[in-house]
Amino acid sequence: MDSTENVINAQNEGHLDNHDYEKGSPHLRHARLRGQVEDRLRQLVADAIARTGGCRVLEIGAGHGTFTQVLVDAGAQVTVTEASRASADHLSETYADDDRVEVVFDETGDSVLSREESWDLAVLISVVHHIPEYLPALEAIAGRLVEGGALFTVQDPLYYPRRSRLSHVASRGTYFAWRVGQGNLARGLGSRWRRLRGVYDDTNPSDLIEYHVVRQGCDEVAIAECLGALFEDVDVFTYWSTQSPLFQRMLENTSLRSDFGVAATRRLPA
């Protein structure tokens, strides 16, 4: 089994029926971050509708559909994928009577791309860091977009080797402060110590699920270069994000940056 297959299996096993998507997710928990993501989605859908009269969205890794609803409310027709069977079932139940949403349980993480179908907008929220080979994956997703279409990603950790020491220390410190209140601290500390030494365990589910979070982050410059060849405009935006509500409020208006998003718009002709 290659690492992509292992990681996809880990998504399935790590996001079971009772999975709480909000708990460790700053972009879901903190109203300001969440609002910024929602505003960008609404704008992208509105742009597509203004351009073509409609907006077909491919949302990869939708979780429990928090942002699917935003897309639908903005007027989109959405294909959502999930690599977790339990989350796909949850989505199917939620949207059973809604023909604006099609749910795909994507066991391989990319089978939806082999369809003869194209979309106006692709959305990956807190998903790129779960994909081991994210550059070819983004290229393949862009390959399914119509000319003029857009690709939006958000809530992925900035590439660690490029980050300031202060931002690393702030991220680790604020994560730790939050983690202390979450239980299972001994296991968390063991994993953290191992990763700080650069040791990853491909049999440890948390190392597989949070693939790039526990390794080097995601390379926003490489992503911008990769998408720059396929889209006329590529906007990489960076921001501060942490689990603890207190430290989010304290640090979000400083110059510290931990995470990023990318809005690639105006897909060039293939």
Ligand X SMILES: C[S@@+](CC[C@H](N)C(=O)[O-])C[C@H]1O[C@@H](n2cnc3c(N)ncnc32)[C@H](O)[C@@H]1O
Nearer Cβ to ligand X (14/188):
14
Nearer Cβ to ligand X (28/44):
28
Q: Does 80 bind ligand X (CB under 6 A)?
A: no
Cβ 262 to ligand X shortest distance, Å: 15
Q: Does 109 bind ligand X (CB under 6 A)?
A: yes
Q: Which of 26, 63, 132, 149 binds ligand X (CB under 6 A)?
A: 63
What sign does the dihedral 238-243-244-246 (CA atoms) show?
positive
Q: How many residues does the chain have?
A: 270
Task: Kindly list the distances between the CA atom of residue 80 and the CA atoms of 100, 146, 230, 237, in Å, as whole numbers in the listed order.
Answer: 11, 18, 23, 24
The region of 76-84, 169-177, 182-190, 236-244 touching ligand X under the rule CB under 6 A is 76-84
The region of 69-77, 82-90, 186-194, 233-241 touching ligand X under the rule CB under 6 A is 82-90
Nearer Cβ to ligand X (101/127):
127
Q: Does 28 bind ligand X (CB under 6 A)?
A: yes
Block residue for tokens 């807190």: 126
The region of 127-135, 144-152, 172-180, 221-229 touching ligand X under the rule CB under 6 A is 127-135
Q: Does 265 bind ligand X (CB under 6 A)?
A: no
Q: Does 106 bind ligand X (CB under 6 A)?
A: yes
Task: Kindly list the distances between the CA atom of residue 19 and the CA atoms of 87, 240, 247, in Å, as whole numbers in the listed order.
Answer: 8, 25, 24
Closest CA to 14 of 65, 69, 63: 63
Cβ 138 to ligand X shortest distance, Å: 11
Return d(Cα 248, Cα 56) in angstroms, integer.
34
Distance of CA 61 to the CA centre of its chain: 7
Residues sharing a CB contact under 8 Å with residue 36, sequence separation 6 or more, in sequence order: 239
Q: Does 30 bind ligand X (CB under 6 A)?
A: no
Question: Residue 97: how many CB atoms within 10 A of its CB?
Answer: 6
Residues at the site binding ligand X, with contacts judged by CB under 6 A: 11, 15, 21, 28, 60-63, 66, 81-84, 87, 106, 109, 125-127, 130-131
